[in-house]
Amino acid sequence: MITHESRDPSALHTPVLLERCLELLAPAASRDGAVVVDATLGMGGHSEALLEAHPGLTLIGLDRDTEALGLAGERLKRFGDRAIRVHAVYDEIAEAIAGAGFPGVDGVLFDLGVSSLQLDDADRGFAYAKDAPLDMRMDQTRGETAADVIAAAPEGRLRAIFERYGEEPLAGRYARAIIAARNVEPILRSGQLVDVLQQATPAAVRDQRHPAKRVFQALRIEVNGELTVLERAIPAALDSLNVGGRAVIMSYQSLEDRAIKRELTKRSRSTTPPGLPVELPEHSPEFKLLTRGAELAGEEESARNPRAIPVRLRAAERLRASR
């Protein structure tokens, strides 16, 4: 396991779209007494840059991964009490803000998905290219593992997980293959699961894509409740913003991006009843969008940092308090 005593977090992770995130958050983060929440602290790359750029900023960093919190703590130690770390899932953002003693915040940043730390540590079981125990928990202190799901879920549930969270067209075929294999011996390691999926995949499909990619994504989302958590977290984060506050949200797969787009679009529309000649203040848009659709990483960054290739960034600014 990677430990913060032995590894430099800046060498383990390159923050995605760092300059764009700083640009979008700058008007809010530069306010007097500004507070920004990094809801997915990870190894602290975005947080470090924000604290360096804004000497008056207080940053609250949330992460469910205790190992990441340790590494980020080393990275942010020089900022003293300007950097507040909280062991929490990002749908607990309101509680974290209140616990730190603030009624609201000026910025919120989300960098969703699995982190470099989790992918690169083979023992975590996130990467299908590395044989490891089938864990996949972002918080290794609680919850069921991917091996637990594989061992206990009936065929219908497995199929539903692969269809919903992996958008896997062979979901039924893979679910049946897993049931058959686990009846012979427990599937406890990622290498075992990859072998089962490989054998269940038609040759023509194997030539097009790795059979495990979507299944591993689906299991990770299921184990960590990622979409359920996200659907609670985005409204809570937007509600926490002061007027003029900004939210910047980066996602890496279409299911996350759809949920984010849906919430931001809803909040940025007028609810004035049709036919009225004027906009009613209480029905005016609560937010304005700061990006046209989802922004992508440029070619240079994608070449330098392949993990930026699938990123989708959306941002919004709070226009008025909710009523």
Q: Is 63 annotated as a binding residue?
A: yes
Residue 118 marked as a ligand binder:
yes
* pLDDT reported for residue 1: 45
**Which of 257, 178, 140, 163 has its CA nearest to residue 217?**
163
How do residues 170-214 score in pLDDT, each as one tens digit?
999 999 999 999 999 999 999 999 999 999 999 888 888 888 999
Residue 264 scores a pLDDT above 50: yes
Task: Tell whether residue 198 is among the known ligand binding residues.
Answer: no
Q: Taking 90 as the threshold, does the pLDDT of residue 281 lie above it?
A: no
User: What is the pLDDT averaged over residues 255-274?
Assistant: 91
- The average pLDDT across 38-63 equals 97
Q: What confidence score (pLDDT) does residue 4 get?
A: 44
* Token pair belonging to 253: 């797969």
Please state, in angstroms and as integers, the Cα–Cα distance from residue 58 to each residue in 31, 106, 122, 266, 320, following that order. Answer: 11, 10, 34, 29, 23
> How many whole angstroms from its chain centre is CA 19?
19
Q: What share of the chain is helix, strand, coil (3-state, %, to 5)?
A: 50, 15, 35
Whether the CB-CB separation of 116 and 12 falls below 8 Å is answered with yes
This prediction's pTM: 0.87
The predicted structure's pLDDT at residue 9: 58
Q: Is 292 exposed, middle or buried (0-12, 13-18, 19+ CB in 10 A)?
A: exposed
Interatomic CA distance for residues 22 and 301, integer angstroms:
16
pLDDT of 278: 72
245 is in an annotated binding site: no
Please give the C-alpha separations between residue 37 and each of 60, 63, 170, 205, 208, in angstroms, as whole numbers: 5, 11, 39, 43, 40
Cα gap 169→191, rounded to integer Å: 22
Predicted pLDDT at 3:
46
As a whole number of angstroms, the distance between CA 41 and CA 247 comes to 15
Q: Which domains does the chain have, with CATH numbers?
A: 9-117+226-318 (3.40.50.150), 122-224 (1.10.150.170)
Tens-digit pLDDT profile for residues 223-250? 999 999 999 999 999 999 999 999 999 9
Residue 292 structure tokens: 């046209």
Average pLDDT over residues 104-129: 77
Q: Does the annotation flag 111 for ligand binding?
A: yes
Sign of CA dihedral 279, 283, 286, 292: negative
Distance CA 39, CA 107 (A): 10
Confidence of residue 314 (pLDDT cuts 50, 70, 90): very high
